[in-house]
Amino acid sequence: ENAIEIRGLEKTYAAGKGSPAKPALRGVDLEIPTGSVFGLLGPNGAGKSTLINILAGLVVKTAGQVTIWGFDQDVNPRQSRASIGVMPQELNLDPFFSPRAALEVQAGLYGVPKSQRRSDEILALVGLEDKAEAYARTLSGGMRRRLLLAKALVHNPHVLVLDEPTAGVDIELRQMLWTNVRRLNEQGMTVILTTHYLEEAEEMCDEIAIINAGQVVARDSTANLLDRL
C-alpha cells in the first residue's frame, strides 16, 4: 500500500524578468509506502522543495498525477489536502499569535471541529506546553521550528512532510525533532523529509530517493543506497 503515488510529474515555473522558463521537475515517478520514513535527497536546486510544495497543494503542477492516501489531487483536492501536513522550511509565523492561538487558527483553516482539537496534546508533544501563551516573536528559532511541526499536525494527517527540518539547528533540537518524528511514525504516520544531511537520512529514513535536476536518479533502502555512495 502506498501513501503517495506520483506519476509523470512535471513542473515548469513561469519565466521571470530575464530568466527563461526552466523545468524544475522533469517526469518524476515515485511511490512512497505507507508507514515508512522516506527521504528525499539531492543538491540545491534539484527540485525537492518543488515536489514537496506540489504535494502540499502550494504549487500547481504542470503535468502528471499525484495521489495522496488514495485521493487524486485533481479529482479530490480537499481530501488529498486533508491527508497531508507540511512543516515548511521558512520560519514564517505571525508574530502576534501565541502557539496555542496559532494552532487554533490552523485547526480552523483545516475545518477541525472544536471538539476534536488537541492543542494541549500537540504542544506537549513538541515540548511547547510552557510557551503556550507566549507571543511567537518571543520564541527562539528552535521553538519556532517546533511550533511549525505542531501546526503541521493539527488536522491529524496520515502523511507528514518535513522540508529540511533540521537545517541550521543545534544538535539538541535536532535530536528532539528526530525523536518526535520517530514517535509519530511509530504511531503509524507516514513521514517524508528532505535533507542535506546524510547523517539525518541514515538515522531516520527507511528508504531514500535521490533527486537531481528534476528527476529521480536513484531509489533504494537507506542501507543499500548509502553503501553505494
Q: By C-beta, is 44 or 187 nearer to ligand ADP?
A: 44
Of 38-46, 96-104, 111-119, 168-176, the window that binds ligand ADP (rule: CB under 6 A) is 38-46
Q: Is 49 in the site for ligand ADP (CB under 6 A)?
A: yes
Instruction: Name which of 169, 171, 168, 193 is nearest 181 in CA terms.
Output: 193
Q: By C-beta, is 117 or 144 nearer to ligand ADP?
A: 144
Q: By C-beta, is 34 or 212 nearer to ligand ADP?
A: 212
Task: Give the HSE-up count for residue 94: Cα atoms under 13 Å, Cβ half-sphere.
Answer: 12
Q: Is 141 in the site for ligand ADP (CB under 6 A)?
A: no
Q: Is 166 in the site for ligand ADP (CB under 6 A)?
A: no
Of 47-55, 149-157, 201-209, 219-227, the window that binds ligand ADP (rule: CB under 6 A) is 47-55
Tell me the residue type at 199: E
Q: Which segments within the chain are labelled E, that is strand? A: 2-13, 22-33, 37-41, 63-68, 71-72, 84-87, 159-163, 190-195, 207-212, 215-221
Instruction: Name which of 68, 91, 41 is nearest 193 in CA terms.
Output: 41
Residues paired with 123 in a beta bridge: none
Instruction: Name which of 69, 41, 26, 73 is nearest 213 in CA terms.
Output: 26
Q: Is 13 in the site for ligand ADP (CB under 6 A)?
A: yes
Q: By C-beta, is 185 or 212 nearer to ligand ADP?
A: 212
How far apart are CB 18 and ligand ADP at their closest, in Å? 11
Q: Which of 50, 73, 106, 166 binds ligand ADP (CB under 6 A)?
A: 50
Q: Cell digits for 221?
A: 533502502
Q: Which of 3, 41, 46, 150 binds ligand ADP (CB under 6 A)?
A: 46
Q: How big is the site for ligand ADP, counted in residues (CB under 6 A)?
A: 12
Q: Is 24 in the site for ligand ADP (CB under 6 A)?
A: yes
Question: Residue 138 has what DSSP assignment?
Answer: G
Instruction: Round to whole Å and give the CA distance between 60 and 117.
Output: 29
Q: How many CB atoms lie within 10 A of CB 32?
A: 22
Of 37-45, 139-147, 174-182, 185-193, the window that binds ligand ADP (rule: CB under 6 A) is 37-45
Q: By C-beta, is 50 or 80 nearer to ligand ADP?
A: 50
The residues that touch ligand ADP, with contacts defined as CB under 6 A, are 13, 16, 22, 24, 42, 44-50
